[in-house]
Amino acid sequence: MDIARQREIASKGGRAAHEKGTAHEFTKDEARAAGKKGGEAVSQNRRHMADIGRKGGERVSQDREHMAHIGRKGGEAVSGDRQHMAEIGRKGGESRGSSKSQPPAAPEREQT
């Protein structure tokens, strides 16, 4: 039996059970627990999860406007942390300062 026919039969059974009043309806807690259980089972397949992440990343990164928006939001969030920004500036200044203002030290020679 093909999948379309199986779904059609299952759908009829589901509708009949609801009309009869015997269909099980999940509570929010039951649905949450079932979703969590399914998510845990799927997430154990690392290759599958990596494929999902790669496809999502490729799709999102093709939307240049969306990527620009993400970059702006990230920049705004980071630049709001003044201590973090000061630390970045210090590190940048130190790396530039050591190479421009002072020549590299000559290697020490051993005395014989």
Q: What is the pTM of this model?
A: 0.31
CA nearest neighbour of 53 among 64, 41, 63, 43? 43
pLDDT tens per residue, the chain (112 residues)? 899 999 999 999 989 998 998 888 889 999 999 999 988 888 888 898 899 888 888 887 888 888 888 888 887 777 788 888 888 888 887 877 655 555 556 666 666 5
